[in-house]
Amino acid sequence: MEAENEIRREKYVADISSIREAEVRIKSFIHKTPVLSSESLNAVSGRRLFFKCECFQKGGAFKFRGACNAVFSLDNDEAAKGVVTHSSGNHAAALSLAAKLRGIPAYIVIPNGAPKCKVENVMRYGGQVIWSEATMQSRESVASKVLQETGAVLVHPYNDGRIISGQGTISLEFLEQAPQIDTLIVPISGGGLISGVALAAKSINPAIRVLAAEPRGADDAARSKAAGRIITLPETNTVADGLRAFLGDFTWPIVRDLVEDIITVEDNEIIEAMKLCYEILKVAVEPSGAIGLAAVLSDSFKNNPALKNCSNIGIILSGGNVDLGRLWDSYRK
What is the rounded CA–CA span in Å between residue 150 and residue 42? 51
Of 88, 165, 189, 288, catalytic = 88
Backbone angles phi, psi at 48, to 5 degrees: -95, 120
What are the start-end ranges of the E strands in 121-193? 128-132, 153-154, 183-187
Sheet holding 128-132, edge to edge: 128-132, 106-111, 83-86, 153-154
Which of 221, 218, 199, 224 lies closest to 210 in space, CA to CA? 199
Cα 38 off chain centre by:
23
At 208, the amino acid letter reads I
How many Å from the N-terminal Cα to the C-terminal Cα in the chain?
A: 52
The residue count of the chain comes to: 333
225 is catalytic: no
What is the rounded CA–CA span in Å between residue 139 and residue 125? 21
Bridge partners of 210? 184
Q: For the beta carbon of residue 74, count every other beta carbon within 10 angstroms.
A: 19
- What single string gives the DSSP state of each residue in 254-287? HHHHH--EEEEE-HHHHHHHHHHIIIII-----H
Of 18, 52, 58, 63, catalytic = 63
Cα 255 off chain centre by:
13
What is the rounded CA–CA span in Å between residue 94 and residue 87? 10
Quick check: 53 and 32 in contact, CB under 8 A?
no
Bridge partners of 49? 313
88 is catalytic: yes
What is the rounded CA–CA span in Å between residue 193 and residue 195? 5
Q: Which residues belong to the active site?
A: 63, 88
